[in-house]
Amino acid sequence: MASGVPTGVRTDRPGAAVAVGRARWRGRRVARVLTWAARVAGLLTILSLALPVLRRHLQPATWFGFPAQASLVGTVVVATLGLGLIMLATGLRRRKRRAWQLAVLACVLLVVSHVLGRQSIVPGVVVLVLLAGLLLTRREFTAQPDPVGRLAAVRVVVQMLLGGYVVVVLLLLARPSLIEGRPRVGEKAAQAALSLIGVSGPLRFRAEWFDDLTAGVGLAFGIAALVLGGYFLLRSAEPRPSLPAEDSERIRDLLARHGRTDSLGYFALRRDKAAVFSPSGKAAVVYRVVAGVALAAGDPLGDLEAWPGAIQEFLATCRLAGWVPAVLGCSEAGARVWAREVGLDALELGDEAVVDVATFSLQGRAMRTVRQAVSRVRRAGYDTTVRRLRDVPADELERLRELVARWRGGPAERGFSMALSRVADAEADPDAVLVVATCEDETRGVLQFVPWGADG
């Protein structure tokens, strides 16, 4: 399924559907307008440094309150601001509160610069309008940042600045013959520190290329520090996936009562997923966050009538964290509910094959190829056993787990909505069916089926 970022809270009061629809539309429009405004402004800001035509006719530097005769410092500030606006657009699209705060702060600083600098009134009015728009739409930006994002941003900025400082100092110490005079250590340290913000230091160089090299290296580290710091400051939280025992028991209860309608429902018990439940507790949505996308696996669990409540709780969680909701591996009925409640678009990936073992037969022309394959395996001396995990001895399960771990070749397992991420775990999955293929008393293959309802 494709994804969108809905707003509003579901309610069954008269007229609520219209109100929720308007709130969703307004929220999407605000986020879309501000996102594109930030991208265009950032792009124009960067282009203003490279294209003389834009500097002469569009004068974006004047719009942003920077002097027309920009020095190197001004150029660095404009370039950094352009990159920052483009990065900020992502945060505004996801309605992050911190992105809104930074945008408001930028507007306030620009207004102050216009007032103190006695510049043209037009740029000041534009900034005031933007500031007013941000303040009027402040309730649309409720997504919280990653709790550790601030510390990560500070750490990255400090590391990048320190790294750049050390590199420039080493360059200066390595080629003293290219520096005029006999500068003191403090002057070299000042030169390295000022290079991080694009400011010329106290040193004078005999070779212009060496001056450009030290200045460029320092400036590159300085810009990288700001860009990476902004990324970590605005990124969405990506919690460590886990399914608490209490949620696991609630999901098992929902599967026991409603699991017959969903062949993939048991995969909701993966331990690397999280779950949100409807207010009534009669339905749940399981998901995992990947790169800022909350990926729901399959249909909601539980009572069909309670699905909308679980979906709205899932959306509320996404809005609070700034995640983009998406769904993978749902049924046709589930796709209709997701499309109705969230406004997602559905993409058909394939059909599900169901085998009724009571009536299945290898007879007939249509099964000829399968029948021949089975005969070849039998002639090769292979045998199979089919048992519930609860009926397999513990020592054999341990041996099978070791074999599976070795055969996989690594911890990663393909599959999200149709994989359980564990094999031969009788304590967690006693009703799972284990098929073991052996040849000459040696295990050659293992296949595990998860339960589907009471008899599937």
Residues 6 or more apart whose CB falls under 8 angstroms from that of 323 comprise 94, 236, 289, 292, 293, 294, 317
Confidence label for 21 from pLDDT (cuts 50, 70 and 90): very low
Crossing angle, helix 185-195 and helix 149-174, to 10 degrees?
130
User: Residue 76: pLDDT above 70?
Assistant: no
Of 49-63, 331-345, 427-441, the range with the lowest mean pLDDT is 49-63
Confidence label for 42 from pLDDT (cuts 50, 70 and 90): low
User: Residue 14: pLDDT above 60?
Assistant: no
Of 7-16, 87-96, 380-389, the range with the lowest mean pLDDT is 7-16
CA 412 from centre of chain: 19
Provide, rounded to the nearest whole percent, the portion of the chain with pLDDT above 90.
Answer: 13
pTM score, whole prediction: 0.69
Q: Is 122 exposed, middle or buried (0-12, 13-18, 19+ CB in 10 A)?
A: exposed
Ranked by mean pLDDT, the top range of 41-50, 104-113, 420-429 is: 420-429
Q: Are 344 and 2 in contact (CB under 8 A)?
A: yes
pLDDT in tens, 178-223: 888 888 888 888 888 888 887 778 888 888 888 888 888 888 898 8
pLDDT at 75 (0 to 100) = 58
Cross-strand bridge partners of residue 391: none
CA distances from 339 to 283, 314, 335, 336 (A): 18, 14, 6, 5
Burial annotation 60-88 (CB, 10 A radius, 16+ → b, else e):
bbbbbbbeeebeeebbbbbbbbbbbbbbb
- The single residue listed with the structure tokens 């009536």 is 359
What value does the mean pLDDT of the chain take?
A: 78
Confidence label for 63 from pLDDT (cuts 50, 70 and 90): very low
Q: Which two structure tokens, joined as six digits, stand for 97?
A: 């509160």
Query: Residue range 414-418: average pLDDT?
Result: 58
pLDDT at 72 (0 to 100) = 55
pLDDT in tens, 291-332: 888 888 888 998 989 999 999 999 888 888 888 888 988 888
Query: Residue range 247-272: average pLDDT?
Result: 86
pLDDT in tens, 382-409: 998 999 999 989 998 999 988 888 887 7
Query: Residue range 416-445: average pLDDT?
Result: 83
pLDDT at 138 (0 to 100) = 77
pLDDT at 56 (0 to 100) = 45
pLDDT at 286 (0 to 100) = 92
pLDDT at 126 (0 to 100) = 63
User: How far apart are the C-alpha atoms of 90 and 46, rounded to whole Å?
Assistant: 17
User: How far apart are the C-alpha atoms of 81 and 89, rounded to whole Å?
Assistant: 12
pLDDT: which is higher, 136 or 19: 136
Three-state DSSP string of the chain = CCCCCCCCCCCCCCCHHHHHHHHHHHHHHHHHHHHHHHHHHHHHHHHHHHCHHHHHHHCHHHHCCCCCCCCHHHHHHHHHHHHHHHHHHHHHHCCEHHHHHHHHHHHHHHHHHHHHHCCCHHHHHHHHHHHHHHHHCHHHCCECCCCCHHHHHHHHHHHHHHHHHHHHHHHHHHCHHHECCCCCHHHHHHHHHHHCCCCCCCCCECCHHHHHHHHHHHHHHHHHHHHHHHHHHHCCCCCCCCCCHHHHHHHHHHHHHHHHHCCCHHHHHCCCCEEEECCCCCEEEEEEEECCEEEEECCCEECHHHHHHHHHHHHHHHHHHCCEEEEECCCHHHHHHHHHHHCCCCCCCCCCCCCCCCCCCCCCHHHHHHHHHHHHHHHCCEEEEEEEHHHCCHHHHHHHHHHHHHHHCCCCCCCCCCCCCCCCCCCCCCCCEEEEEEECCEEEEEEEECCCCCCC
pLDDT at 238 (0 to 100) = 73
